[in-house]
Structure 1
Amino acid sequence: AAPSLGAISIYPNFLFSMLWVAPFLIITGIQLLCSETTLFSDLQNGDWRMVWLPALAALFCGFFWELWNVNSLAHWEYSVPFVQRFHIFEMPILGYAGYLPFGLECMVVSLMFGKVMGEEGYS
């Protein structure tokens, strides 16, 4: 994951998604190396909540972020390689898939900082 972050500058049209996914993979990899609980630990018990809830929450929020973006005076427009068709608001429909790993990354980062601050973490 880490080398792909450096390679983004060379192949941005092919590795742009690693900008979102690589930090998540790096943090999860460090947790595994330290034998800590990860976002995926509950999957062995068949509990998918720690994976699906943050991913779907980010997708839900992303829909409203894009809704509010489209008519704001200062708004952004997307240039997502290979998928510049079928927009919902300003975002290509396949671009919404990027909110799923973004939600996982937000969850991993928040739990990591919670652990640093002395919180229980995954429960």
Structure 2
Amino acid sequence: MSEVENPETVPVKYTCRIKMGRCNCVKNDANPNQPIVNRRPEQGILAVKVEEGVLPNFCWTNRATGEVGLDISGSRQQFELSRVRDHDGEWAYLVKHFEERHSEGVFYAFWLQETETDRNTVEAIRRVIEGHPVEAGL
């Protein structure tokens, strides 16, 4: 019997897709936990997905080329989310991913392409990672 015929077998899945461009992260000697962030002109989609029994996944895809520029998974405890100001004073969103080989964590940064879309982007992504649905609009 397929998942369509028996919807009770469909694993719980939460997804959040946001139009975001990528940023470069440069080490900040004054504050190692907050890198210097510079926007890149690339525009894309950041998708955050959580399925029952599967590790949370962050995937960024370039909208112009379709190229996947980032695809990382890990336990909920391996991700930290925050937002910082870039050098132009605009908000950038940081995903810090902790891996065994990088105990300090690796930073990935994104800028929100449609600023009016969501002022609570970090909270929406956090809710998805925690396995909670996101309200319509993201």
**Structure 1 length normalisation: TM-score?**
0.25
**Structure 2 length normalisation: TM-score?**
0.23
Query: Which structure has more strand as a fraction of its residues?
Result: 2
